[in-house]
Structure 1
């Protein structure tokens, strides 16, 4: 099961969060006090890893401004409010398993499962099922007499099916009773015996009786409830919430830890320590009562080596550290609470400085990373999926370490969904702006009270709903990325990628040679890496004083709405939004479609002459508006040698490097298209 959508309401700063979608990784961006933590904590309590945390209390959790109204409404017979609503989608294996047992199409389109929890502290659920699918499956596999099967298949629900089956059974029972009564009236013994035997044949068939028995629990419980209780409830992912309070202290008294665990009174810092102990394949009692010190030391050393490798893989701040663990009897001079029994110490050895120090004395960023690894490494090995809720995970990390953490999330947490909060630019992955959700509380910004439906924490997918303060981390992230990958000037032409960045200056050079109009050098070409990123880039930088922006983008049908929204949502003037299709006069177009198709095929043949099995022939390419698609489809059927993959940049680079050869081959229609584009752009300056 995979979390796909969430709604939070009537919890702390949240009155109505809006429904928002989540993916494999979701980043909640917002200012301090915007309510990011409230969203995570509400979601955590839906199905927490620590079962005792699955509670909401009106006094503590209901929005304070309205808690009295709420408690009075409850006294007057009102229903407890729902705090968190979550929708889950089934994976294909889960769908196949259900369909095998309950019929093809028994679960509707994703998300199939809705789960919620509120102030009654009961877990509610709803599974979207198609009962008719189960009716058809059950009847067609029951081997019923044809007349009964035909009647049963008219049912659209299990209740209707049950009524049909019961009616047939009752009808047969009545027929048996009537036949037996008539048989008993016969005087002739032989006739009577024959009639009674004939009456038996009217008895309910075994197949009908078996189907009725199978359907009884489903009808009584309800199909959705039955599927949830017996198939899906155990697969509901657990939520693991992690913030600075769960950081390991670096040492613990094992005897005291055992008491806290048995009494369900664990401290937040105990969880990563227990994860460490489990990672070493140890039980608390084994540590306390160990009869083999060397074996214990070996197991702890193994856990330390594993965590050291994990940390060094993603902790670029210091590559000279390793983790060590030691178990020692308590001494009178040990810290308070650790002066009797057995103590476990976590230490860091720094080979660069030849020093060993307790984990608790390292930087707060290191302690956070180490503690998370210790706890999650234990959960990672469990069979069930865990959804990770990381609250400000990069708070104590250096900018480079925050980038390391993003790499860790992508590489090591696959299979486990991650939702994290941040207000740091370095925790925003500009490669995945689709992960970002804006968290905003306008109540914190306005002097006057807002209508209730507008107040409190809101979550938005649309970046245009963000205020300048919320935008800052995104601006910072994008600005940092720009310094690495883009050029931005007072007149920025937004293009898609490096192929455009190569073709446009090269063609412009040809235009000058041909005494035609080149692109104005005042335009700075800014490749953003795809149409998906264009709205984000423009939204973040349109407010910069004196910055003029235009676009020259590829156009595909799937991107039509995104491009139209650039002016419909007033991000840009419509006259500044251009695509190559405006100049090719086709419904779809890439920069490659500005060229004559035969010219581009010849260019590809020359660029890949050592890799193609045979030269491409334009007439043999599959039909499509875009020449790139035609070539890619052809190469799927006839791959290049040695697994070489077609890349748009290679023909572009080949064209630019051999401009003296390929420039003169450009036909008049191609030059006309590019000149029209350049003249249109230049007129905007």
Structure 2
């Protein structure tokens, strides 16, 4: 069974996530505090691999601001307990065949059967969506049972399941008839949907495994303390990878504390060490000269607190090149994360657990190359066996060749301060609409590399670097307009890559262009203050001079933004329509100059209503969405500027 969609409501920072689709690998991208963890936690509690984790608590989980009103409304009977999460699953062939094997080929009322699973704050799970043809299913049961011709004919002609049951009950009670009664009775009492879900599909719904930094192995533990925690059902997160390691080695905890430990026990542990070492090294390109080692020995008085009696297990990493070993706990956090996940997952994989993996900020402490290794691990090792949903704000954990996997997670009520956010837009939302995302959500700063996430989201073999999303909208829209009329637009070989400002251009070109051996050109705004930084792009041989273009190359002004590719009157029409105002060309400062600068100067003296701030993106969005109405106002001279720009760029392919 495959998870197809999810919808989360009234959970922590989430009022209504909106329904979002799930892929084989789904990447949740967003800034810190956007609600990515809340999304994963809500899904996990629906059907967790650790059963005691599947509990929604109103006090801890309901949005804090509204929890008192919610509790009062439920107590007064004004509303039902909130449904927190609904997951919709697509039945795969083996699920369909399992149902059809009992109820026949015509038992499904849909060619693409789905089932949904929901859970509310009473922690009741309910299923839905499952569409079955009960009449056809019962008829199949009758036909596949060895009944007399008369009884079979009567049963097939019956008008209800109850009537079928009565006919069979009154017939001769052969073994076949009694078997049929046992199959029909639960259908008569509860309906076919209930029976199919509970007897066949329920156990096939995959469980969720949630993994974050708290599940990292400590690298050392006291065996007796671990035994006690497990016996009392009080395991902590870091216990699971260690137990996974022991299970992989086919070892029991009481074997470790046996003073008569045998050579066979040590051999089992060594086999697990070797197996995990080979798996780690397959995707750990940082150091190929390491191996994992686990030591079991009696506790000593000088051992850490909590490990001074009984038996201790110690994890070490041996560097075979330098002939030294270090405690596992002292290795990099990134390595410990990777190893801990492998230890737990390897054991679950061996047991063939039906799982969906929820990875919260995986590899957060890994540097760029190691994160790329992790992406490869997801693709090659995890995807063939499990769906993976992971969160990140690192560009190196976004597969730029599979942008369809990305979901933007944002909380606009946290990110917006200029305007009041309508109630329905508050809280964490999940969207695939890149151009609807806020700048902070789409382009979070990326650690020491200092460039934003969109530099990976919009990367291809041929990259046209522009400053922002507004450029992308204008260029793509005009290009499509020209192509519709049979002219050449911007070549489809170009991937337009917004980088968030002219000051980011050289960083992008040097870090990405050189590393990935990409064909890169730039088309950016030009102001006199930017001349030095723009000249440096080709003077430092980051790009050839012909690949560095500015909008001033195609307009009459000394300075130019993408907006100056249009006439002032046309651009003002976009501004007026989007903001509901009325600025005319005569209202703007006379003479040459960037039109955006002129509009900003005018709005400083005549502010927009309700404290709204002017944003370059909004007129661009209006242009893209209303191009059908606006194209008649685009003069040939305006289009010609774009024709020249597209021609110059296409010559670089």
Give the TM-score normalised by the residue count of structure 1: 0.67
Aligned partners of 1:679 and 1:548: how far apart in 2? 14
For the 8 Å contact 1:321–1:349, the answer to whether it is kept is: yes
Point out where structure 1 has 5 or more consecutive residues left out of the alignment: 174-201, 495-517, 529-533, 551-565, 578-677
For the 8 Å contact 1:247–1:367, the answer to whether it is kept is: yes
Aligned partner (choices 624, 627, 632) of residue 570 of structure 1: 624
Q: How far is the alpha carbon of 1:94 from its aligned partner? A: 1.7
For the 8 Å contact 1:430–1:477, the answer to whether it is kept is: no
Q: Does residue 373 of structure 1 match 2:342?
A: yes
Q: Does residue 130 of structure 1 match 2:133?
A: yes
Q: How far is the alpha carbon of 1:446 from its aligned partner? A: 2.5
Aligned partners of 1:138 and 1:296: how far apart in 2? 53
Q: Does residue 106 of structure 1 match 2:76?
A: no
Aligned partners of 2:394 and 2:325: how far apart in 1? 32
For the 8 Å contact 2:372–2:396, the answer to whether it is kept is: yes
Aligned partners of 1:62 and 1:567: how far apart in 2? 35
Aligned partners of 2:287 and 2:648: how far apart in 1? 54
Write out per-residue CA displacement over residues 289-336 of structure 1, whole angstroms, 9 at most, x where no aligned residue. 252342222111111111111111111111111100100100000011
Write out per-residue CA displacement over residues 13-68 of structure 1, whole angstroms, 9 at most, x where no aligned residue. 01111111101100001111110000000100111111111101101110011100
Q: Does residue 30 of structure 1 match 2:84?
A: no
Aligned partner (choices 201, 214, 220) of residue 189 of structure 2: 220
Q: Please list, as runs of the form range in 1=range in 2, the aligned pairs for 1:146-545 lying within 5 A after superposition.
A: 152-153=155-156, 160-166=160-166, 168=167, 211-289=180-258, 291-413=260-382, 414-447=384-417, 449-472=420-443, 476=452, 479=455, 485-488=461-464, 527=493, 545=525
Aligned partners of 2:649 and 2:628: how far apart in 1? 12
Q: Which region of structure 1 is more displaced relative to structure 2, 4-13 or 73-82?
A: 73-82
Aligned partners of 1:215 and 1:111: how far apart in 2? 22
Aligned partners of 1:85 and 1:3: how far apart in 2? 11
Aligned partners of 2:11 and 2:76: how far apart in 1? 21
When the two chains are superposed, the root-mean-square deviation of aligned CA atoms in Å is 3.7
Residue in structure 1 matched with residue 118 of structure 2 by the alignment: 116
For the 8 Å contact 1:488–1:525, the answer to whether it is kept is: no
Change (3 A) 1:544 1:343: farther
For the 8 Å contact 1:152–1:161, the answer to whether it is kept is: no
Change (3 A) 1:3 1:490: closer
For the 8 Å contact 1:165–1:208, the answer to whether it is kept is: no
Q: How far is the alpha carbon of 1:250 from its aligned partner? A: 0.4
Aligned-partner SS, 1:231: helix
Aligned-partner SS, 1:431: coil
Residue in structure 2 matched with residue 41 of structure 1 by the alignment: 41
Aligned-partner SS, 1:357: strand
Change (3 A) 1:272 1:148: same
Aligned-partner SS, 1:395: coil
Aligned-partner SS, 1:23: coil
Aligned partners of 2:498 and 2:458: how far apart in 1? 13
Q: How far is the alpha carbon of 1:470 from its aligned partner? A: 1.9
Q: How far is the alpha carbon of 1:218 from its aligned partner? A: 2.0
Aligned partners of 2:282 and 2:275: how far apart in 1? 11
Aligned partners of 1:246 and 1:225: how far apart in 2? 37
Q: How far is the alpha carbon of 1:2 from its aligned partner? A: 1.3
Q: Please list, as runs of the form range in 1=range in 2, the aligned pairs for 1:554-569 lying within 5 A after superposition.
A: none
Residue in structure 1 matched with residue 531 of structure 2 by the alignment: none
For the 8 Å contact 2:294–2:314, the answer to whether it is kept is: yes
Point out where structure 2 has 5 or more consecutive residues left out of the alignment: 474-486, 502-521, 526-550, 552-560, 566-619, 632-642
Aligned partners of 2:26 and 2:163: how far apart in 1? 48
For the 8 Å contact 2:31–2:441, the answer to whether it is kept is: yes
Aligned-partner SS, 2:94: helix
Aligned partners of 2:139 and 2:270: how far apart in 1? 59
Aligned partners of 1:239 and 1:426: how far apart in 2? 25
Aligned partners of 2:222 and 2:173: how far apart in 1? 70
For the 8 Å contact 1:235–1:384, the answer to whether it is kept is: no
Change (3 A) 1:236 1:543: farther
Residue in structure 2 matched with residue 95 of structure 1 by the alignment: 96
Change (3 A) 1:679 1:482: closer
Q: How far is the alpha carbon of 1:477 from its aligned partner? A: 5.5
Aligned-partner SS, 1:384: coil
For the 8 Å contact 1:392–1:420, the answer to whether it is kept is: yes
For the 8 Å contact 1:87–1:111, the answer to whether it is kept is: no
Aligned partners of 2:231 and 2:523: how far apart in 1? 58
For the 8 Å contact 1:135–1:155, the answer to whether it is kept is: no
Number of residue pairs aligned between Structure 1 and Structure 2: 505
Q: Which region of structure 1 is more displaced relative to structure 2, 130-139 or 425-434?
A: 130-139
Aligned partners of 1:253 and 1:59: how far apart in 2? 34
Q: Which region of structure 1 is more displaced relative to structure 2, 220-229 or 539-548?
A: 539-548
Residue in structure 2 matched with residue 183 of structure 1 by the alignment: none
Aligned partners of 2:472 and 2:425: how far apart in 1? 37
Aligned partners of 1:308 and 1:139: how far apart in 2? 57
Change (3 A) 1:57 1:357: same
Aligned partners of 1:483 and 1:230: how far apart in 2? 48
Change (3 A) 1:572 1:292: farther
Residue in structure 2 matched with residue 633 of structure 1 by the alignment: none
Write out per-residue CA displacement over residues 492-514 of structure 1, whole angstroms, 9 at most, x where no aligned residue. 999xxxxxxxxxxxxxxxxxxxx
Residue in structure 2 matched with residue 644 of structure 1 by the alignment: none
Write out per-residue CA displacement over residues 521-574 of structure 1, whole angstroms, 9 at most, x where no aligned residue. xx986725xxxxx6x868999996448799xxxxxxxxxxxxxxx999817967
